[in-house]
Amino acid sequence: MENSPAISTPLLEVKGLKKQFRVSRRKGWRVEQTVVKAVDGVDITVMPGETVGLVGESGCGKTTAGRAILQLVEPTAGEIRLNGVDLRSLKGEALRQIRRDIGIVFQDPFAALNPRMLIRDIITEPLMAHGMIKPSEKAERAAKLLETVGLRREFANRYPHEFSGGQRQRIGIARAIATDPRLIILDEPISALDISIRAQILNLLEDLQEEKGLSYLFIAHDLSVVRHICDRVAVMYLGSIVEQGPSETVFSSPAHPYTMALLSAVPVVDPALRKERKLLEGDLPSPVDMPTGCRFRTRCPIAAERCAEEAPALLQIGVNHFAACHFAVSDPK
């Protein structure tokens, strides 16, 4: 995506999102209860027609954040507003009704589809759950949705095991757009696919966005894909956002050491353009025992004494560019 929409009202607005899990761990002969801060104070906005990338290492909490936004897991704290409506204040039927405005595409296309259901039943299940169609309309609606994602109408009468991974993901996308949602959460939608298929799925997502005016929250760890498809990007580390801003700004002028390390790990085809990799030392800290102060300091090459004592706030360093680092510098003009 090249240009962000010039609309000031967010479609999705998330403030201070937290998700904690209680776990038991053994210390000697004792079993203690402790808390894992999977998501710890995340702020995200998605504008109408915009694609926002949420990136980070495996285990950083980005998938949990996406599921908490959709209310698939109950958030511990925070505000989640879709088109101005507070999702956390909704229960029962009211929450079920507003969920038609949010779709989700899962990472694993093989596990996401019920192997005992026909494709037409899988695709139209959201429509039936919301009472949007009659049983007699299922076949035709499923056929149209399959054609929308580039599959043949007759595939509606087959089972998931008869399809390849790329075809299954197209079916998952068809199910996600069935209720005509305004926002789709894409949880690493291409990471489980062959490289030859990934471009086809990305092109499909871009075509659907242009055709239907969709907004995407694109969860991924492949930064080259994020740079191609996202208008803005938020970098997540151990449950919190450490940097966010326009994609081109973050990729061309990263301000946080963690972002710099992630970008240096992206493969570069042209040897003349390759740079020295910024390798991170040490292991990823346990989310049960977070480091004091800056949670990245145990792996940071520029960490100082202040980093152990004071957690950096996410401060603006440029136009719509924010970073949570005591030593972040302003964007070059």
What's the DSSP call for residue 311?
A: P
Mean pLDDT of 54-81: 93
C-alpha–C-alpha distance, residues 140 and 153, integer Å: 9
C-alpha–C-alpha distance, residues 289 and 297, integer Å: 14
For residue 128, the number of C-alpha atoms closer than 13 Å in the C-beta half-sphere is 14
Sign, CA torsion 217/314/22/287: positive
Residue 209 has pLDDT above 70, yes or no: yes
Residue 115, amino acid: P
What fold, for 12-116+159-254? Rossmann fold (3.40.50)
Mean pLDDT of 10-22: 95
What proportion of the chain, given as a percentage, has pLDDT over 90?
Answer: 72
Long-range contacts, 247-255 (Cβ 8 Å, 24+): 247/53, 249/318, 249/319, 249/320, 249/321, 249/331, 250/321, 251/223, 251/227, 253/318, 253/321, 253/331, 253/332, 255/317, 255/318, 255/321, 255/323, 255/325, 255/328, 255/329, 255/331
Residue 161 has pLDDT above 80, yes or no: yes
Task: Give me the residues paired with residue 201 across strands.
Answer: none
How do the residues of the chain divide into helix, strand and coil, expressed in percent and rounded to 5? Answer: 35, 25, 40
Across all residues in the chain, what is the average pLDDT? 90
- The pLDDT tens digits of the residues spanning 69-79 come to 999 999 999 99
Structure tokens at 281: 């030392």
Where is pLDDT greater, at 110 or 31? 110
pLDDT recorded at residue 285: 84
Going by pLDDT thresholds of 50, 70 and 90, the confidence category of residue 1 is: very low
C-alpha–C-alpha distance, residues 165 and 168, integer Å: 5
DSSP H or E segment with residue 197: helix 195-212
Question: Is this prediction's pTM over 0.85?
Answer: yes
Please answer whether residues 255 and 329 qualify as being in contact, where contact means their C-beta atoms are separated by less than 8 angstroms. yes
Residue 99 has pLDDT above 70, yes or no: yes
For residue 230, the number of C-alpha atoms closer than 13 Å in the C-beta half-sphere is 31
What's the DSSP call for residue 26?
A: E
Per domain, the residue ranges of the chain are 12-116+159-254
Going by pLDDT thresholds of 50, 70 and 90, the confidence category of residue 2 is: very low
- The pLDDT tens digits of the residues spanning 236-278 come to 999 999 999 999 999 999 999 999 989 887 766 656 655 666 6
